[in-house]
């Protein structure tokens, strides 16, 4: 990354917050710093010039907050001389309109570059703006959902909602609605539809589901809801502005409890709940996390809007506890995922909520990368998520995920049908959980029923893995209790899997820097076909959940459904 690229991220990404503050009538004593920064960064004769963008250049991303700022905060354009405005026109509009861009949400960034210039009478391309929106509309899949890319690419994470597509559709509807009412109405309608899906992403504590790309943008995950208010969207029943306000405020308050996300100088770190370079991407710089400032779109909402005048409300009594999201096609959890800090042994692979397979005795592990098939199906009238994948050319895995039920609300089933053309070891991981005891911060000890803390069986570290105390039968399963409780049990009778606690490498998890993962392990002989029925337990902590309740459902796993028994027997 050239020196100018980290600089532009540090200037442009906080603009999301500053521009929203100014658009809502607020003031900031440092606004002039950004005004001068924009002048310097777009002046090719200035030593702080950001550089002329090339095809598929990261600079294109940063043009979006600059375009938005120009559109909503007159101070930027009004403070510039004619020459400085020409520099902005050249850097922001003329350059990006001539360049190739990734066939993704990035096209929205060019829309906003042109829109910002258009709002100020600058040189822009209406033809490019229209053609980009028309192409972006080809990403639309239905029921409010857009994919982040064309057919053949399945990416529906926060870039489909709060990080880019839905967020920017709503901003466009607000800023261009009078001259482009048809598109504005369509974008608002999509937001109404998808809101009834996205409401499931947030829990009572304010946490959002940590999944997908660029989760280091942190509280940007909630920006969709502020954008609803900014664009004056009429909420679909049963949502109210009090519910929307509650989602936003609880989320921001939860992030205030994540003190380790700041570095020693008070700047957002690269990471999630703590600094973590394992989850960094190749374009990252110290300014990257400030895409989080999308969350401050609510500051641009007028004070008389019901978003501000309503009292906070919760929404959980008004929505179903389980909902199949047809277009994204995923099942989510309250526990954060893990990323492998290395490529040797289970401890480095950190297989949280994953099935791994190894054909070399456990040194290298393969997990699902691409699915030959994936989709939501029904079993006895209930949704399940099915995928078929091949970790090796001669090994086929069919995985079926069954969501929790009212009778077993803290359990879900993960079913694997494995046909092995070679001998493979398997490891099926539950969720990762904090691996620090409350007494001295060391690894969790054997479960203490008085402290409501510990594991079963015992964590034996990454050495002496054959120690009997570190293993249990698959039927008995393995669990860990610290910040809530997680565990896994084998429900099938046909084979004998073993349960243990994998001591994951440090910094492999997004939220906790030291974790353990209850895991079921087994070896399948060449030519064998097996059924695994794993029951995964999860009881997250929260207000009103006493520690004594963490394991209250552990001894009551769900039964194998009748439809599954029929599939296994056939």
pLDDT for position 467: 87
333 confidence band (pLDDT: 50, 70, 90): low
**Residue 409 CA neighbour count, 13 Å, CB half:** 9
| Chain centroid to CA 516 | 21
Mean pLDDT over 297-324 rounds to 92
Q: Average model confidence (pLDDT) for the chain?
A: 94
Mean pLDDT, residues 273-295 taken together: 91
Other Cβ atoms less than 10 A from the Cβ of 319: the count is 15
pLDDT of amino acid 332: 62
Query: Do 1 and 281 meet the contact criterion of CB atoms below 8 Å apart?
Result: no
> What pLDDT score was predicted for residue 473?
98
Q: What does the pLDDT average to over 223-237?
A: 98
Question: Which residues 6+ apart lie within 8 Å of 421 measured at CB?
Answer: 392, 393, 394, 395, 526, 527
pLDDT at 4: 59
Rounded CA-CA distance 357/346 in Å is 10
Q: For 99-110, what is each residue's pLDDT tens digit?
A: 999 999 999 999
pLDDT at residue 478 above 50? yes
Please check the confidence at residue 133 and state whether its pLDDT lies above 90.
Answer: yes
Per-residue pLDDT, 463: 66
Average pLDDT on 219-227 reads 98
Residue 459 confidence (pLDDT)? 94
Q: Is 563 a residue whose pLDDT tops 60? A: yes
Q: What is the pLDDT of residues 172-198, one digit of tens each?
A: 999 999 999 999 999 999 999 999 999
Looking at residue 5, what is its pLDDT? 61
- Per-residue model confidence (pLDDT) at position 233: 98
Q: What is the mean predicted confidence (pLDDT) over 323-333? A: 76
CATH 2.70.98 in the chain: give the residue spans. 345-569
What pLDDT does 351 receive? 96
> Which residue do the tokens 């565990």 mark?
487
Q: Is the pLDDT of residue 64 over 50?
A: yes
Share of the chain above pLDDT 70, in %: 98
User: In the predicted model, is pLDDT for residue 343 greater than 90?
Assistant: no
CATH topology of domain 345-569: Beta-galactosidase; Chain A, domain 5 (2.70.98)
Say if residue 390's pLDDT is above 80: yes
The pLDDT value given to residue 433: 97
Predicted local distance difference test score (pLDDT) of residue 279: 85
- How sure is the predictor about 466, in pLDDT bands with cuts at 50, 70 and 90? confident
- Contact between 357 and 395 under an 8 Å Cβ cutoff? The reply is yes
């Amino acid at each position: 990354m050239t020196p100018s690229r980290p600089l532009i991220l540090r200037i442009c990404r906080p603009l999301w917050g500053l521009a929203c503050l100014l658009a809502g009538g607020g003031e900031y004593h440092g606004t002039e710093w950004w005004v001068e920064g924009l002048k310097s960064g777009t002046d090719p004769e200035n030593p702080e010039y950001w550089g002329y963008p090339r095809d598929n250049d990261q600079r294109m991303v940063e043009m979006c907050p600059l375009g938005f700022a120009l559109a909503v905060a007159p101070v930027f354009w009004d403070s510039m001389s004619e020459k400085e405005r020409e520099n902005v026109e050249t850097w922001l509009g003329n350059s990006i309109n001539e360049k190739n861009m990734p066939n993704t949400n990035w096209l929205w960034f060019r829309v906003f570059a042109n829109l910002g210039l258009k709002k100020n009478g600058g040189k822009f391309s209406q033809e490019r703006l229209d053609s980009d929106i028309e192409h972006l509309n080809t990403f639309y899949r239905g029921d409010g959902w857009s994919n982040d890319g064309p057919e053949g690419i399945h990416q529906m994470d926060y870039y489909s909602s709060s990080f880019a597509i839905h967020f920017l559709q709503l901003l466009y509807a607000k800023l261009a609605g009078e001259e482009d009412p048809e598109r504005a109405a369509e974008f608002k309608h999509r937001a109404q539809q998808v809101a009834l899906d996205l409401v499931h992403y947030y829990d009572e504590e304010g946490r959002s589901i940590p999944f997908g790309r660029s989760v280091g943008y942190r509280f940007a995950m909630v920006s969709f809801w502020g954008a609803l208010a900014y664009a004056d969207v009429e909420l679909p029943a049963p949502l109210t502005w009090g519910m929307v306000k509650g989602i936003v405020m609880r989320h921001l308050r939860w992030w205030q409890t994540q003190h380790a996300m700041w570095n020693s100088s008070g700047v957002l770190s690269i990471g999630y709940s703590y600094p973590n370079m394992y989850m960094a991407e190749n374009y990252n710089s110290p300014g990257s996390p400030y895409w989080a400032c999308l969350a401050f779109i609510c500051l641009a909402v007028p004070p008389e809007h019901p978003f501000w005048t309503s009292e906070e409300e919760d929404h959980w009594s008004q929505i179903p506890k389980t909902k199949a999201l047809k277009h994204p096609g995923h099942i989510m959890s309250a526990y954060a995922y893990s990323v492998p800090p290395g490529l040797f042994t289970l401890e480095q692979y950190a297989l949280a909520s994953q099935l791994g397979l190894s054909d070399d005795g456990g040194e290298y592990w393969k997990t699902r990368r691409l699915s030959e098939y994936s989709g939501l199906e029904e079993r006895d009238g209930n949704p399940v998520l099915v995928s078929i994948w091949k970790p090796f050319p001669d090994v086929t895995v069919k995985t079926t995920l069954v969501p929790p039920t009212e009778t077993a609300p803290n359990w879900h089933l993960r079913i694997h049908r494995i046909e092995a053309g070679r001998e493979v070891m398997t490891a099926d991981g539950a969720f990762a959980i904090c691996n620090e005891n409350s007494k001295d911060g060391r690894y969790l000890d054997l479960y203490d029923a008085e402290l409501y803390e510990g594991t079963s069986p015992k964590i034996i570290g990454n050495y002496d893995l054959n120690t009997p105390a570190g293993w249990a039968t698959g039927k008995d399963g393995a669990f860990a209790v610290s910040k809530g409780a997680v565990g896994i049990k084998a429900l099938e009778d046909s084979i004998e899997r073993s349960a243990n606690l994998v001591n994951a490498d440090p910094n492999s998890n997004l939220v906790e820097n030291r974790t353990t993962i209850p895991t079921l392990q087994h070896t399948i002989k060449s030519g064998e076909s097996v059924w695994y029925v794993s029951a995964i337990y999860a009881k997250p902590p929260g207000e009103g959940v006493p520690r004594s309740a963490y394991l209250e459902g552990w001894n009551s796993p769900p039964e194998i459904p009748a439809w599954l028994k029929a599939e296994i027997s056939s």
